[in-house]
Amino acid sequence: MTKASRLTIAAAFMATFAAGAQSQGFTPESPECIAPANPGGGWDFTCRQVGKMLQDEGLIEKTMQVVNLAGGGGGVAFAEVVNKRNDSNDLIVAASSATATRLAQGAYPGNTMEQVRWLASVGADYGVIAVAADSEIKDLPELLEKIKTDPTSVSVAGGSAVGGWDHLKVLIAANAYGIDDVRSVKYIAFDGGGEAVTQLLAGSVQAFTGDASEAKGFVDSGDIRVIAVLAPERLEGDFADFPTAKEQGVDAIGANWRGFYAPGGMSDEAYDAWVSKIGELYASDQWKEVMANNGLAPLDLQGADFEAFVADNVAEIAAISREIGIIK
């Protein structure tokens, strides 16, 4: 090996060591997580579970403050971060396929995914379609047949905006069932899954579309009944009793990734530290238990890999949205 080669390797090692030391050296003074919806939904779950676990595992020293900032399918929170919190090193924001959907459809006016920094994923949450526990609707084909026969007789509630990920999930199921004009599906948007389920229980709507993690608490309390999971096969653990759409003859799959972004002006030191902390949390046995208990499937991506994944997801959803006529 030449002297120049040894110097190059040494320099690379020192740069890597310095980056690692810097990321280890950063500690958020006032850790904060924005959940871009009202309490009770998937973004709220992500902030609260990850915030608690980061502290339990000793990865942050202080309690994570969770701020619910609802509106615009995550658009209010995105604009707040870009325009007012761009240089905050203590702030992370819960994100999901719903975030990618709104970005893909240009629903955050003037904002793009490049304006923030993408940190890491913490798993994937399969979509569900549910009805109230006392509903006469027994299964997914029965619900979809009602929509096909008389679209005005069924309203489906979700926690994302019209055209958002919750909306897309029920459209994917409708399309797979053979409903030619999926725009006939009557979807009503609410600020978060919790509010959508409240309307379901009040009888204002006939079905709910959301994710496994946000539905679980309402299933456990006996309020709702999951009639379909949009997964290729049945989930494990507490979710094993929920039938898939596929086993009912409806070939519909919808996985919602969960993760975080950070302000675009966050320092490299803080960014590397948050990526490392979330990565360590994901690898822990405690987080694997949280995933199993809440129906989360594995999705382990950090830093540049996660950013590339989100970019691909945005492009894919844009193509689907054009296909079904949501965007031109």
Q: Are residues 251 and 271 in the same domain?
A: no
Number of C-beta neighbours around residue 60 at 10 A: 20
The confidence band for 212, taking pLDDT boundaries of 50, 70 and 90, is confident
Q: Are residues 149 and 121 in the same domain?
A: no
**CATH number for the domain that contains residue 156:** 3.40.190.10
**CATH number for the domain that contains residue 73:** 3.40.190.150
The rounded distance, in Å, linking the Cα atoms of 127 and 175 is: 15
Q: Are residues 45 and 113 in the same domain?
A: yes
The confidence band for 174, taking pLDDT boundaries of 50, 70 and 90, is very high
Residue 12 lies in a domain: no
pLDDT at 24: 55
Bridge partners of residue 258, in order along the sequence: 96, 123
Buried b (16+ CB within 10 A) or exposed e, 104-141: bbebbeebebebbbbbbbbbbbbbbbbbbeebebebbb
Residue 207 lies in a domain: yes
The rounded distance, in Å, linking the Cα atoms of 10 and 21 is: 16
CB 42 within 8 A of CB 195: no
Q: Are residues 70 and 167 in the same domain?
A: no
Residue 10 lies in a domain: no
Structural domain harbouring 205: 126-255
Q: Are residues 81 and 158 in the same domain?
A: no
pLDDT tens sequence across 23-36: 457 999 999 999 99
pLDDT at 327: 85
Q: Are residues 191 and 250 in the same domain?
A: yes
Q: Are residues 44 and 94 in the same domain?
A: yes
Buried b (16+ CB within 10 A) or exposed e, 208-221: bbbbbbbbbbbbee
pLDDT tens sequence across 230-274: 998 898 888 889 999 999 999 998 888 999 999 999 999 999 999
The total domain count for the chain is 2
The rounded distance, in Å, linking the Cα atoms of 228 and 250 is: 9
pLDDT at 199: 95
- Specify the 3-state DSSP secondary structure of 240: coil
The confidence band for 192, taking pLDDT boundaries of 50, 70 and 90, is confident
Q: Are residues 170 and 185 in the same domain?
A: yes
- Specify the 3-state DSSP secondary structure of 195: helix
The residue with greater pLDDT, 285 or 7, is: 285
Report the share of the chain in percent with pLDDT over 70.
Answer: 93
Q: Are residues 109 and 77 in the same domain?
A: yes
Residue 11 lies in a domain: no
Residue 62 lies in a domain: yes
- Specify the 3-state DSSP secondary structure of 230: coil
Domain boundary, last residue among 239, 255, 271: 255
Q: Are residues 102 and 144 in the same domain?
A: no
Report the share of the chain in percent with pLDDT over 90.
Answer: 71
Residue 2 lies in a domain: no
Residue 215 lies in a domain: yes
Domain boundary, last residue among 223, 255, 287: 255
Q: Are residues 209 and 133 in the same domain?
A: yes
Q: Are residues 107 and 181 in the same domain?
A: no
Domain boundary, last residue among 255, 284, 305: 255
Q: What is the mean pLDDT of residues 7-17?
A: 40
CB 1 within 8 A of CB 35: no
Residue 261 lies in a domain: yes
